[in-house]
Amino acid sequence: MRVAVAGTALSLVGFLVLLFFIPALRRADAMVWLWSFLAAFLIGLWGLGIALWQGKTRLPERRKPS
């Protein structure tokens, strides 16, 4: 879970940083990077939501009798 949170956060940071370089990205015809970081962030949020949902619906573990 920590890796997914870190990856999602880094995707958001990458997107926000690239917002400052939009003119350069347009000149280099590399706007795909901006949208790729945004897509990665949104997919990461979706995945985290699914992971949290699955954690809440998981059956409790059975304890072995002592």
Whether 41 maps to a domain, the answer reads yes
Query: What pLDDT does residue 10 have?
Result: 98
The confidence score (pLDDT) of residue 61 equals 72
Range 11-46 burial, b when 16+ CB lie within 10 A, else e? bbebbeebeeeeeebeeeeeeeebeebbebbeebee
Domain count, the chain: 1
Q: What local confidence, expressed as pLDDT, does residue 1 receive? A: 83
Split the chain (66 residues) into runs of 10 and give each run's mean pLDDT: 94 98 97 98 96 81 70
- Which tokens hold the place of 3? 């890796």
| Residue at 62 is within a domain | no
pLDDT of residue 66: 65
Q: What is the pTM of this model?
A: 0.81
| 10, part of any domain | yes
Q: What range defines the domain where residue 51 resides?
A: 2-57
Is 37 inside any structural domain?
A: yes
Q: Is residue 20 part of a domain?
A: yes
